[in-house]
Copies of this chain bind each other. A is one copy, B any other.
Amino acid sequence: MIIVFKPKTSEEDVKKVSSQIEAKGLTTHIVVGEDVTICGIIGDTTIVDPKQIEVSPVVERVMHVSEPYKLANRAFHPDDSIIDVSGVKVGGDHLALIAGPCSVESKEQVIEIAKAAKAAGANMLRGGAFKPRTSPYAFQGMGTEGLDILVAAKKETGLPIVSELMSADYIEEFNEKVDLVQIGARNMQNFDLLKEVGKRCTKPVLLKRGLSSTYEEWIMSAEYIMASGNPNVILCERGVRTFESYTRNTLDLQAIPVIKKLTHLPIIIDPSHAGGKWWLVEPMAKAAVAAGCDGLMIEVHNNPECALCDGPQSLKPKKYTELIEQIREIGHIVGKEV
């Protein structure tokens, strides 16, 4: 941690600040420049709150030189984490192919889609039972009944299930029925939920990036879950909010190499929610794999025109099948096997 003092700060004032820090058992090192004086802090700086230093009238600003996350940090865990989702490996050279409808609508629908997705090469089934909707008047999902339909589809196809958890009240039910527990973008900084999921959730967690969350904030939310007891976190980029309104969100594929550099966690891409248009899914899915992602979460629907939610971004099974064939070839080039 580095403290930058305001121009013309007196030696005495610099001393006063540095001795406060030394009082906490840290070592300081003062560098007097021509314009400004800086103070380097040596030791475990996580015990220092930079805001408390910044409030001093002689301090210009305080700069971090190391990341605020530990458990998720690649620096302390150089190898890729490989997360086991009921037998399906995510991370390393494995490619997770998660497919399914945005919302669970009926048993027939889900089973039909699950079979088609599996036939195409998918190795996990997604489906929303609890739905975060902007409007209180929109369809809010089938809830528990929806989860049971997913369980039935798993029994039929063997595909592990991914579904979104919106309230800590349902963690135990998800532990029982779901294989990968999704935390949605709008709950990425619902810290109470993150803590409870860390403590009580026995299944791996898929943590979506918030609509305007920085990489660091996103990793810190993973750190919340990990620090609370659940080390099995997979990150999911699903587009960020920008000035561009033609697409629903701007898909940030640079997240793939960045997350892999900063952390050891797997990262998968959701091209369906990012663009909000089905014809963007195919090129973005191929791009994501070429960039080295660990998986794809894609909405597949047998009848998008009648979907209760997000029909315009769903692929039909036939298109999904063709896509997976190209994905397989691109994955092969970049060292990922399906």
Binding site for B on A (CB under 8 A): 2, 4, 7, 29, 31-36, 38, 40-44, 46, 49, 51-52, 54-56, 60, 63, 65-66, 68, 75, 132-139, 166-168, 186-187, 189-193, 195, 211-212, 214-217, 220, 223-224, 227-228, 240-247, 250-254, 256-258, 261, 274-275, 279-280, 283-284, 286-292, 304-312, 314, 326, 329-330, 333-334
Given A138-B49, A291-B283: A305 touches B56 (CB 8 Å cut-off): yes
Among B241, B246, B311, B329, contact of A54 (Cβ-Cβ < 8 Å): B311
Dominant secondary structure at the A interface: mixed
Return chain B residues, CB-CB under 8 Å to A52: 305-308, 311
Given A52-B305, A253-B251, A254-B251: A135 touches B68 (CB 8 Å cut-off): yes
CA gap between A334 and B326 in the complex, in Å: 8
Given A224-B136, A254-B274, A283-B291: A244 touches B214 (CB 8 Å cut-off): yes
Q: Give min CB distance, A247 to chain B, whole Å.
A: 5
CA gap between A191 and B60 in the complex, in Å: 30
Contact between B212 and A192 (Cβ–Cβ < 8 Å)? no
Q: State the copy count for this chain.
A: 4
Given A65-B4, A191-B132, A243-B214: A55 touches B220 (CB 8 Å cut-off): no
CA gap between A63 and B33 in the complex, in Å: 14
Q: Give min CB distance, A131 to chain B, whole Å.
A: 9
When C-beta atoms are compared, the residue in chain B nearest to A35 turns out to be B66
Contact between A227 and B29 (Cβ–Cβ < 8 Å)? no
Contact between B38 and A65 (Cβ–Cβ < 8 Å)? yes
When C-beta atoms are compared, the residue in chain B nearest to A168 turns out to be B167
CA gap between A305 and B2 in the complex, in Å: 18
CA gap between A54 and B55 in the complex, in Å: 30
CA gap between A167 and B190 in the complex, in Å: 9
Return chain B residues, CB-CB under 8 Å to A190: 166, 186-187, 190, 193
CA gap between A42 and B138 in the complex, in Å: 20
Return chain B residues, CB-CB under 8 Å to A139: 49
Given A135-B223, A187-B190, A287-B291: A42 touches B51 (CB 8 Å cut-off): no
Q: Give min CB distance, A118 to chain B, whole Å.
A: 24
Q: Give min CB distance, A39 to chain B, whole Å.
A: 9
CA gap between A115 and B47 in the complex, in Å: 32
Return chain B residues, CB-CB under 8 Å to A193: 190
